[in-house]
Structure formats: C-alpha cells, structure tokens
Amino acid sequence: MTIAIGIGEHRIGGPEERTWVMHGLGSCIGLVIADPLTHISGAAHILLPTRVAGGPDVPARYADEAVPFLVEGMARLGARRRGLVAVMAGGARMFELGHLVDVGTRNAHAVRRALDRAGISLVAEDVGGRRGRTLWWEPWAGTAYISQVGGERRELTPREHRFIRAGLRS
C-alpha cells in the first residue's frame, strides 16, 4: 500500500513508513529530502516557486518554503541538518506560454536554489520536458523511482545514495 502526497501536501517520517507516491507531477515538483544516517525523510508536492501575495499558508506548496519546512520537521524527528540528500522530479513545460518562462522551469530552479541555501546535495533529478511524471519514495531503503506518462518505472536514486548502502558506509 502506498501513501499519496497531493499538491501542496507533505510527509515526514522514518524507515517504518510505507511507500510514498506523488502522482501528476506536470509543472509541479516532487521533492524528497533524506538523512542517510537516521533514515528520516521528508517529501513535498510543490506547486509554485514562491508564495504570491495573499496565497494560502501551506509551506509545502512553495519551493522556497518547502525545503526549510521539511528540514525543520525532519530535525524534530531526529534527522541531522548536515549530510542531507535530495531527489526531485517534475518541472515539465505542460503549457505553451509564449515568451514567458514556464512554471515548471521556475519551480525546478527555485528548488535547486532552496536546496543550495540549505546545504543539501541534489543527488538525482528527472525534470523538464513535456510529460508528466510519478515519483515513488521508499523511506526504509532510501530509493526513489520515477515514471513518465507512457513510460516504464525506473530507479532514480543513484546506488551510492540508497540507505542500505549508505548505512554500510556510515
């Protein structure tokens, strides 16, 4: 059984958690941040790069707020603030907007900036293009899987960043 994380939603937990899934990642970004030592993870289904004036107070909805929000929640469960790693997927150009920079590209850039500010290594990504995606996260293994619409499910996490292997190195 999987736990779905919808637009603007988040999840934080440890290795006892079941698989998390973020469906319908068009211009949205599915972000997972993980601590390979404690196996505590956080995920957000990000809609926009930043909150617009009067936007709802839902930190997981915005790239610039989601990263520190997840890190804080993970730290409360015992995650370290250093040594965190991240994977992300989505950021597709779903609609033709003429000369304007598309939301998917802006979302991906905003997530990268937020991760960089927090000192978190982005170890894998599958972003851009024109197809929606689904991102799965296995909190007990530190493994992410991705599929694009019409494509096969494949592993996204590099082998050296899986928890099982990272735990052996720690």
C-alpha 158/C-alpha 163 separation (Å) is 11
Taking the C-alpha atoms of residue 36 and residue 161, their distance in angstroms, rounded to an integer, is 8
Angle (CA) 33 112 148, round 5°: 75
Concatenate the DSSP letters of all residues of 53-83 into one string.
TT--S-GGGBHHHHHHHHHHHHHHTT--SSS
Task: Check if 28 is active-site.
Answer: yes
Whether the CB-CB separation of 61 and 8 falls below 8 Å is answered with yes
Query: What does the block give as tokens for 159?
Result: 């082998």
Q: Which two tokens stand for residue 75?
A: 């730290």
Catalytic residue selected from 28, 71, 74, 92: 28
Nearest to 158 by CA among 34, 14, 28: 34
Enzyme catalytic residues: 28
